[in-house]
A and B are shown apart, each in its own frame.
Chain A
Amino acid sequence: MTSAMTLAETSFNFAYLDEDTKRMIRRAILKAVAVPGYQVPFASREMPMPYGWGTGGVQVTAACLMPEDVLKVIDQGADDTTNAVSIRKFFQRTSGVAVTERTAEASVIQTRHRIPEAALTEDQILVYQVPIPEPLRFLEPRETETRKMHELEEYGLMHVKLYEDIARHGTIATAYAYPVKVEGRYVMDPSPIPKFDNPKLSGNAALQLFGAGREARIYAVPPHTQVVSLDFDDHPFVASKADHACDICGSATSYLDEVITDDKGGRMFVCSDTDYCRGGQ
């Protein structure tokens, strides 16, 4: 058993992917950075985990990772959930990089659907796992059409969708994967982060990279880039969260998860960002 484990850990190339694949992904990342918000097609590989488990983010992380990195992986803000634990272990085994649960200590953070509460720095890269990269996909299923709409900056359909939210619910009911416009040009899906996190996309000091494995797209928001959540003059964008304080650390400003505690209607609100919550306790 011991020898089998040793074999497994040294028989991979650094960061799992072969060098040709990493070069291809790296070229796509550079083009994504050069055209903020534009989805660059790339030759997505099969990864040793199912689609929907972050294969896009894992490929982007693998292409960016260097031996000196300190990696943090979060799933809905938590370091200790299945997806985060298995991806962190994957990179420990295949690259040997150091890992951490502390946001401030990490140089690369792979995330599923949250932006950490702590402000990120110039020396960090945030890698998002993206299920559906195309913000217009549920409005227009044909790739040929959505590609043309991006080419022509024809984003009226997205505003119709937000307007229909208002017509039906009285407010913009979209609560996650809230569409944004990057540097006044491309409408982008920020991945299914809560809209509470949208303001942190804009002017962030860290480089933000987005990887969609099944859909084979990579896109980017460079540091200090303007990202605007779409809205209307009379229905401005509001970054909402549960109107409550964290029941563990008491923070009134962090994004909260609602946790059911029994079958008699008992519930509590706790920070979604486990590292932030620990820091506040």
Chain B
Amino acid sequence: MTLLTGGFHDAPRQSARAFRLALNALSRPGRIETVSGAEGPAPLSAAAATLLLVLADRDTPIHLGASHDVQAVRDWITFHTGAPFVAPEAAMLALGTWDTLPRARFPLGLPDYPDRSATLIVETATLTTEGPRLTGPGIQTEAHLSLPEVTAFQENRALFPQGLDFFFTCGARLAALPRSTRVEAV
């Protein structure tokens, strides 16, 4: 693995396929999709690397949590996307494990521009459809997802229409939780 490898070999088609899976995951919270295309240096998962290539470029300042703030990851992101590294307050994207992302410091969007909020890519060790109950847009009755906790997402939902949006990545699989989803412990 060098910083030159692991990118898309056919960016238009690979990013289109990966985006559709990410869109599917965000449109249907609790659904787990398997993506492919990108391979980044450890500890970057394949799903997180693919998401970065789909979403990140020179226009998307990114914050790296301590878990992922290593030189190999920085070099790989810089070479493949050109995204600048910033403090949480200026980030549009963030990448790290749950405990290393300072959630209170990311932009939540503005009351009149709620879209100007950060999207967090959270690397997890497990990703299953068991855990807290999810209801809301995109979910017909209810869904379940192995979230790292419950309270943080309830607080995030209470800010609606402001708030953060989350992707959870584990190996080549990803799931998502938009701010619109209601989360309850089971």
Instruction: Write the residues of chain A forming the contact surface with B, with a CB cutoff of 8 angstroms.
Output: 13-15, 19-20, 22-24, 26-36, 38, 40-41, 63-68, 122, 147-148, 150-151, 183, 185-186, 205, 207, 221-226
Q: Which of B16, B22, B111 contacts A14 (CB 8 A)?
A: B16
Q: Roughly how many angstroms separate A40 CA and B139 CA in the complex, as a whole number?
A: 22
- B140 on the interface (CB 8 Å rule)? yes
- The verdict on A31 contacting B165 (CB below 8 Å), with A36-B137, A66-B20 known, is yes
Question: Would you list 25 pairs from A and B whose C-beta atoms are within 8 A, ordered by A residue?
Answer: A13-B12, A19-B12, A22-B19, A24-B59, A27-B60, A28-B115, A30-B26, A33-B23, A34-B26, A35-B114, A35-B115, A36-B137, A36-B180, A183-B180, A185-B160, A186-B161, A207-B23, A222-B27, A222-B28, A222-B137, A222-B180, A223-B137, A224-B137, A224-B140, A226-B137
The A interface, classified by DSSP as helix, strand, loop or mixed, is mixed
Given contacts A223-B27, A223-B138, contact A35 B179 (CB under 8 A): yes
Q: Say whether B57 contacts A26, CB under 8 Å.
A: no
Contact with A along B14-45 (1 / 0, CB 8 A): 01110110110011100000000000000000
> Within 8 Å CB of A24, what residues of B?
59
Contacts of B161 in A (CB 8 A): 35, 38, 185-186
* B54, chain A: closest CB distance, angstroms: 7
Our count of residue pairs bridging A and B at CB distance below 8 angstroms stands at 112
Inter-chain CA distance A34–B115, complex, in Å, is 8
B158, CB-defined interface residue at 8 Å = no
Q: Judging by beta carbons under 8 Å apart, are B112 and A207 in contact?
A: no
B93-126 contacts to A, CB under 8 A, are 111-115, 117, 119
Residue of B28, B54, B57, B180 near A34 (CB, 8 A) is: B180
Asked if B11 is at the interface (CB within 8 A of a chain A CB), the reply is yes
Q: Which residues of B contact A63 (CB under 8 A)?
A: 19
Chain A nearest CB, measured from B90 CB (Å): 16
Q: Do the beta carbons of B19 and A64 come within 8 Å of each other?
A: yes
B55 in complex: contacting residue of A26, A67, A147, A186, CB < 8 Å: A26
A38 touches B115 (CB 8 A): yes
A-chain residues with CB within 8 Å of residue B88 when the two chains form the complex: none
Apart from A30-B119, A35-B161, A64-B19, list 20 A-B contacts with CB within 8 A: A13-B12, A15-B12, A15-B16, A22-B15, A23-B56, A26-B54, A26-B55, A27-B55, A27-B92, A31-B165, A32-B115, A33-B178, A41-B113, A63-B19, A65-B16, A67-B17, A150-B112, A151-B111, A185-B160, A224-B138
Cβ contacts under 8 Å, B180 to chain A: 34-36, 183, 222
Q: How far is the CA of A67 from the CA of B19 in the complex (A)?
A: 12
Nearest Cβ on chain A to B182's Cβ, whole angstroms: 11
Give the Cβ gap from A268 to chain B, nearest Cβ, in Å: 40
- Please measure, in the bound complex, the distance between the C-alpha atom of A32 and the C-alpha atom of B161, giving whole angstroms: 11
Q: Which 4 A-B pairs have the closest CB atoms?
A: A14-B12, A34-B178, A31-B115, A222-B138
Give the residue among A14, A31, A64 with the most B Cβ atoms within 10 A. Answer: A31
Tell me the B130-147 residues at the A interface (CB within 8 Å). 136-140
Contacts of A185 in B (CB 8 A): 160-161
Closest-CB distance, A128 to chain B (whole angstroms): 16
Per-residue interface assignment for chain B, residues 153 to 180, with 1 indicating a CB less than 8 Å from any chain A CB and 0 otherwise: 0000000110001000000000000111
From B54, B114, B139, contact of A224 by CB (8 A): B139
